[in-house]
Each structure stands twice: as C-alpha cells, then as structure tokens.
Structure 1
C-alpha cells in the first residue's frame, strides 16, 4: 500500500509543484487505486508515474475549489480512452455531480464505463466493504470541505504451517478448512482447534487524508491513532493569522494536529508557491513539534508497510 503524490502545490500550479492530487495504490488488493482530489493537469502528472488510470476505482474530492477539481473531467475521459471498463465511483461535496455531468455533456465526452457520483452532505461512514471502511468529517474551510479517514479492517493471521506439519498435517485441502472453520476433524479422527494453528490477526492500517482546513477538532478526530496523516501546510510558522483568514494551516499547526491525534507519521502537502525556494523551512518547523514528518514532492511515493 503506497501513496503517490501527483500534485503538492496550493492554489495555482508552480514550476515544481502542480495543484493537488494523490493516489493510494494497493497491490495487496489487486492493484486497486484510489485518488484523492484531482487538480488541473493531473492526467499529465500521471504520465510521469506508474499509476494506471484503468486501475482507479474511486476518486475522493475534498472540496470544490478549482485547484482540487479542474483536472477531473480530463481524468474521467482519459480513463475511458485508455480502456477503463470497470465502474468508477466519485465522492465529493454537493455540486460535484453537476460539475462532472455538465463538463462531460458540453464536451461530448462519452464514458465506456459505469460512473457513480455520490454527493456528501454530512459526517459519517460513506463506504464499507470486507476490507475497508471510509468515513468523513467536515473541516473548517471557506466552503464545504471534507477530510477522509480510511480504515483497513483487521486481517486473519497467517496459517502456522510448521506447527501443522509437526502434528503430521501435510499441505492440502485441509489447510483451507482450518482457515475457514473453528474446528476440523482429521481423517485419523483427531479434532484440531483451528485458532491453535493460526497466528494473531494482522491489525489494519488507518489513514487520514485532509482537505484544506483551519485548525479544528474534526481534523484531530479523523486522524486519531492513524498510521499516516496527510495534512495541508499552506503557510509557515508565524503566519497563523493569515492562515486563519484564508481558512488554511501552517506547518506547526499541522504538526500539532498530528501530535494531538497520536499519529505514527505526518506528511505535509498543499505547499504555497511562495516557498518554492525554501520549502524545507516548513519541514524543519513541523519536525520541531512532531516526528516523523515528511514533506511531499510531486511524483514522490510513500510506502505504508
């Protein structure tokens, strides 16, 4: 499971940072890919990575500002042109449905795959299957803006093959039965308690991807005990008043949120173009409060083990 950052800038594109977009790729789940936000030129950024448009199954939009959505019509169209046939679901605030449908209609863009659009209007769980649960909370921004919490469900432990072999149980269909049933009777009449031959459950990972936001309690709750928090850092230390006025956060405010939420790691993104020459300053400021902290760059990939 890893995040690839396609755009890490704020507001408008800069020479070294495109507008916001990132993808979560999950090789352990058939390579499914989820995208978070889709700023202008996102499909061009994808060309510099190993991301496959056809593998994108879900797109989560945090809010309707242009630097987070202007690339969406192009990505949807190109996914069709490049052979995508599986269903794609887009989640976002009210207005995302009109934006997509009008853009595709007036440009006469025909999609060869089913497209589902789900508009969000309140906090809560928005998606759940056998492997994941995704929930949202509204953050504090100038317009409706959501943060996403992705929780991987605990996975069954590994079959203890060496222990089974020591009991004289050789590989075969019986191994599957042990995985699927609480107890299994062997051909020789012995009954095995399956839990004695399965390791402890593997704890699921927890991620929080926040949209643009001021400091707020919702951000802390979304990130609580997460393995990874991705947080905007539009401004630097000492610019708290400006950040508040523009409904954004500073590097140190992001770090304080990470610390309050007890996360395992923090990544700063959504970096203002004013820091093109000294963006390391933001990283240093955040690390004074919380570590490990990383500064996202376009095309950088973070592995979540």
Structure 2
C-alpha cells in the first residue's frame, strides 16, 4: 500500500459463530496517514491478527458497532495482550455506551490493569472528537435487536495537484517555485511576480469514504450515506429465501436487500460479509455462490464477498481492488 491509499483487511467474516474457515466479525482499516483501526472484535480476533503484519502498537482506535458477542467478545483479550506487549500509547474505544460498562466490569472482576491510557467515546459524541488524525468518523444508527451502528470513515485532507500546463503556458519553468506551490506555499519569482498557491492548484479530487455497517435488517437506513460513499461494507447473513424462512426475529439482512439498496444509492463498490455458517463454497441454495448470484442479480456495481484475510485497497481515484 502507498501512503495515500486506504485499505481494509477482514479478520473475520462469519456471523454468530466461527466456522472452520471463517472467524467472527473483525475488520482492520488503514487510512492514508498510516496506523490502523479495528472495527468490531469478535472472539479470536487477536489470533487472526497474529497471521497478519498488523501490530497492536500501531492500533489507533477500536470501533464497536454493537454489543452482540460475535462483535465484541474478543475485546478484553486484545486489550490485555496489547498491555502485555508493552504498549504505552493511548488507545480510543468507540461504541454504544454499555460498551464501557462491559469493559469496566471485565477489568474490575479479572484484575485487568492496562499500562496505557484507554479513552472511551460514545457514538453520540463522535462529532466532538477527532478520534483519527487522517479520517473523519461518524456513526449512523441501524436496526437490530440492540442498538447497532455503521461507521463512516472519510479522509480529512485531499491533496491538490499543481496545474503544470497553466504554469508552462505562463512561462514559469519547473523549479523551486513549483515545489513551493505544490506544498501550498506562495512563491516569489526572480522577476518579482508573486504566485498565490491557491491560484495554481487544481481542484481537489473527491474525498474517499468507506462505510462499515454493523448488524442491520433495514439497509435503507444507509441509503443517503451510501450515495456519497465509495465503498459499503454490509452484512449479508442470509439469502432472501432463507431470510423469509427464518423470519424477522434475528433482524439481519439478505444479500438481495443489501444489493438492491446499493443499486438505488449508486455506491460503486459493495463488499458483503457476516455470512451465516450454513453457506459454504460450492453450488446450491446453501452456497456462497447463491449469495453472490442474488446480489449480482440486482446490483451492477463491483460486488465482493469477503473471506477472512481478504485485503482491499481503495485507490485515490476511487477504484477498489482486492490484493
């Protein structure tokens, strides 16, 4: 990854319980400024991290979408391991208010002490905190059996390219002035002319946005946010037929319903995850192929079905590639 790319890595893509090939939910997200954040931390997430190049020393923040166990039971162990690896840098935890009660309870009942400061930001207070230096983060309420949220990550700073064609046309040759303008600094030429940086930089590109949703039975709640996003990561626990058979009680989505909303929003990249363990590789109604076919049948953008350790890179131009 180049420094200006955004990327995310799936640490778990199963819903409810792990399978032989999939752990429960966890996603590592890296912004253009380096470091990484964790979205959800199901049981076993720290074991998955051991199979990657991620370091708990570089972890900036942890975002928990909701408090069902497959999204947060791995959190106490990960926090403890970070301390045992001599982490000293502060760490921010973001989630619904009961998350802090959960962590305080674990720390009090198990004697867990951390050698680093742990700060908690309730989702409702996100707007008042710059949790990440390179990404603005806000939360969108979803529909589930308990309060659940999607986190929207948008890069804060967008570089502007120098209008080199216009500079050449004005008789300004490459040199120190070009370098100053590219850095956003005004420049003075040998003939005394003053070049204002903002006049010689092209319009900035669109800031990239990635939305990572928690459990949700109403994809339409993300419709407006998805219109401006480059990537939507959303659960697709069931196919539509199975969802209708299971009924509304679990409050999850089907691949069909998510893809239909993504098509309506015009989001160019849809990444599905959080699959029921009943879906396996191969063909047939209980296969990953069935989930994919259902999504592709109503969505014409780029659709991906995540697997554990799949890595995706969102380039500056908005193209999402697996790699």
TM-score by length of 1: 0.90
CA deviation after TM superposition for structure 1 residue 250, in Å: 0.5
CA deviation after TM superposition for structure 1 residue 100, in Å: 1.1
- The number of equivalent residue pairs is 300
Match of 2:227 among 221, 224, 227: 224
Is residue 12–residue 25 contact of structure 2 (8 Å, CA) maintained in 1? Answer: yes
Matches within 5 A, 1:68-79: 68-79=71-82
Structure 2: distance between partners of 1:268 and 1:187 = 57
Cα deviations across residues 74-111 of structure 1 (Å, max 9, x unaligned)? 11111222232221111111210011122123222222
Structure 1: distance between partners of 2:128 and 2:140 = 10
Is residue 61–residue 91 contact of structure 2 (8 Å, CA) maintained in 1? Answer: yes
The match for 2:25 is 20
Match of 2:254 among 240, 250, 255: 250
Say if 2:39 is the partner of 1:39: no
Match of 1:302 among 312, 320, 323: 312
The match for 2:284 is none
CA deviation after TM superposition for structure 1 residue 216, in Å: 4.4
Over the aligned positions, Cα root-mean-square deviation in angstroms equals 2.3
Distance 1:39 1:138, change over 3 A: same
In structure 2, runs of 5+ residues without a counterpart are 1-5, 282-286, 316-323
Structure 2: distance between partners of 1:114 and 1:61 = 18
Say if 2:277 is the partner of 1:273: yes
The match for 2:127 is 125
CA deviation after TM superposition for structure 1 residue 53, in Å: 1.4
CA deviation after TM superposition for structure 1 residue 15, in Å: 0.7
Distance 1:119 1:154, change over 3 A: closer
Say if 2:209 is the partner of 1:199: no
In structure 1, runs of 5+ residues without a counterpart are none
Cα deviations across residues 214-235 of structure 1 (Å, max 9, x unaligned)? 1243222332221000010111
The match for 2:211 is 208
Is residue 273–residue 306 contact of structure 2 (8 Å, CA) maintained in 1? Answer: yes
